[in-house]
Structures are given as structure tokens and as C-alpha cells.
Amino acid sequence: MTGLSDLDTQAKTALLTAYAPYSHLRVGAAVRTRSGATYRGCNVECASYTLGGCAERAAIAAAVQAEGPGVEILEVAIYARNARDEEQIIPPCGGCRQMIMELGPNARVRFLGEGGMRVDLPITDLLPHAFALVQG
């Protein structure tokens, strides 16, 4: 896929509010839920690097806050720009993949791939062996 969907555009808009003073890598994400609503998030860095947060998880947190714990994520779009303001290839990290899987086991995930093409994959392709908590 080459063109930007409306969800891609929401992700692109979300990166404009990113707080990235250290890496200068601005990331925006947007999620669409079963209700049809869209929620955005951006990355937030911190001088104590491990305290920063991913755009995908910020968008998912906004969805959960708005719709509650039964929210179902259908689509995720990620858009990033580096310090030179160039589009950056950035698939979701492992933690974000797990969160997407838990709240959207049938979700599709879009991000920039090689050659400027938008990649559109099911989360199961990005995280084939998800962590699952066995309830006893």
C-alpha cells in the first residue's frame, strides 16, 4: 500500500505533539476501535530513558480510558520522522505488539516499510508467539 489512509493521517498529525528532545525521533500513532472511534498518541521521552512512552501505547491508553477495558482495537497506524524530518521506518516495539495483541487480536497494523511503501499486516504476523497469562 502506498497511499495514506485516514488513520495514517491521524498518526501523522499525532507526531506533531511528540516530546522527543533526546532522540529527535517523533512518533505518532492512531488506533481505531470496534466502535469506529479513533484515538491518537505520541511518544514522550524522558532524561531517564526507560521512563519514556511509546506513541502506540499512548493511543491505546486513550482508547481504554474512553471506552473501558472491553475496548477492541481493529487498526493501528504508526508514522515517524527522524531528526532530519525524514519519514522513518518504525514498526511497533515488542511491548507495543503485546499490548496491541491483547486488546486487538485481529488488529491490522500499518507503518512505513522499505522503499516508502506502507506495510499493512495482521498483528499475529508481527507477534506470532504472544505472551498469554493462563488463568487458573
CA angle 4, 20, 104 (to 5 degrees): 50
CA-to-CA separations, 9 to 31, 40, 48, 111, in angstroms, rounded: 11, 11, 30, 12
The yes-or-no answer on residue 75 being catalytic is no
Q: Which of 56, 67, 72, 102 is catalytic?
A: 56
The most distant pair of C-alpha atoms in the chain lies apart, rounded to whole Å, by 51
The set of catalytic residues is 56
